[in-house]
Structure 1
Amino acid sequence: MHILILILGILTTIGIWSWRIQMARRGARVAMDAAGAIANAPRRFAFKYRAGKAGISLIEDPREAAAIMMMEVARAREGPLTDAQARTIDEEIMRHFRFTRKEADELSAHAAWVTNSAPDPLATMRTLSQLVVSAPQLGPKEIVDLDAMLVAVSEAEGVPTRAQLALLQVFRDRAGLKT
């Protein structure tokens, strides 16, 4: 009988100590998670700030802005984006940005996504035109090249519409180009 009580006491002691070790591990894990959350807080808050802004205000790369502008010009023609317009946008991206077919497809898909949630096309064009024109890495040649890219997209389905011409004029006014 004494042996049984001794074995029961040893098992109880082992059980209590293993439970305490498990609780200590769980507490350490919670503390590590809290420390990680505190360390990532500035990045998380910056992301929430940027995510709360409209999609257009997040654009910083002039190539991304140019792709969105081309998509806006293409969508200014009534109806869905046509194969000829999509092909023209991809070709212009590959030629002027030196992108591969896959990179051009990804950029044009991103541009299509942004234009779905963009405000008025004229306001979008004004904002992005200002970003492109004020980009320090772009010179007059690149501005003229972008104008040619926008014209190529507007002519992908024939003669440009009035809405497409209005978007082209917004860019030309911001860029200081004479028509």
Structure 2
Amino acid sequence: MPALIAILGLILAAGVWAWRLRMAKQALDDVSGIAGDVIAAARRLGFRRRMNAHPVESIEEPSLAISALGLAFLDLASLPTAEQLKSLKQAVRKELAVSEIKTDEMLIVSRWLVNECKTPQMAIGRLGKRLAQLDRTGFQPLLAVLGGMEGGTDTLSPRQRDALDEIARIFRLN
């Protein structure tokens, strides 16, 4: 009887370890799938990262900088809800006149760019400077996107107000 219990214990232990290894492999596949999505979206947008430069400095399209600024702006208030992200997607699509697929790809790459900046505040500064370099008139489309989101610019947090002030300073509007 003790031998039978020992054998059942070994089989159970082997089963638990096999299940844990399978779950670890699935988690790794999920993470690599997400990374693959970001890389594929970046390639379809024509984004090419320059060596020895921050990824934001590699942005060549003002529309990508605007969508990333919109995402960073949402992140300043709190973790964006699904409704807020949907509202941002609609505003980007409408104001920048891009297709739904390109909007999705821009938002995927935008999330990565904001994360590379470490914090939303740092992202606002970097992305604002890059947008000003690419298009000195980029402030108006940015405001249209921010105003087109749910709630618009009526209910801003103090951090979002500071971000708008910083963007205005970058574009030398103050």
Query: TM-score per shorter chain, which class?
Result: 0.5 to 0.7
Alignment partner of 1:143 out of 136, 139, 145: 139
List, as ranges, runs of 4+ consecutive aligned residues in structure 1 with deviation greater than 6 Å: none
Query: Which runs of 5 or more structure 2 residues have no equivalent in the other structure?
Result: 1-48
Partner of 1:7: none
Which structure 2 residues correspond to residues 13-52 of structure 1 after superposition, within 5 A?
A: 50-52=50-52
Q: Which amino acid aligns with 1:155?
A: G
- TM-score normalised by the chain length of structure 2: 0.61
CA spacing shift, 1:145–1:53, aligned 2, 3 Å: closer
Whole-angstrom distance in 2 between the partners of 1:139 and 1:157: 21
Q: Does 1:91 align with 2:90?
A: yes
Q: Which amino acid aligns with 1:122?
A: Q
Q: Which amino acid aligns with 1:72?
A: A
3-state DSSP class of the match of 1:50? coil
Alignment partner of 2:170 out of 154, 164, 174: 174
Identity of aligned residues (%): 15
Which range moves more in the overlay, 87-96 or 125-134? Answer: 125-134
Q: Does 1:65 align with 2:61?
A: no
CA RMSD of aligned residues (A): 2.6
Query: Which runs of 5 or more structure 1 residues have no equivalent in the other structure?
Result: 1-48
Partner of 1:13: none
How many residues were matched structurally?
126
Q: Which amino acid aligns with 1:93?
A: V
CA spacing shift, 1:108–1:73, aligned 2, 3 Å: same
Structure 1 or 2, whichever has the larger Rg, is 1
Partner of 2:77: 77
Whole-angstrom distance in 2 between the partners of 1:133 and 1:157: 21
Which range moves more in the overlay, 58-67 or 119-128? Answer: 119-128
Q: Is the 8 A contact 2:55 2:113 kept in 1?
A: yes
Q: Which amino acid aligns with 2:161?
A: L
- TM-score normalised by the chain length of structure 1: 0.59
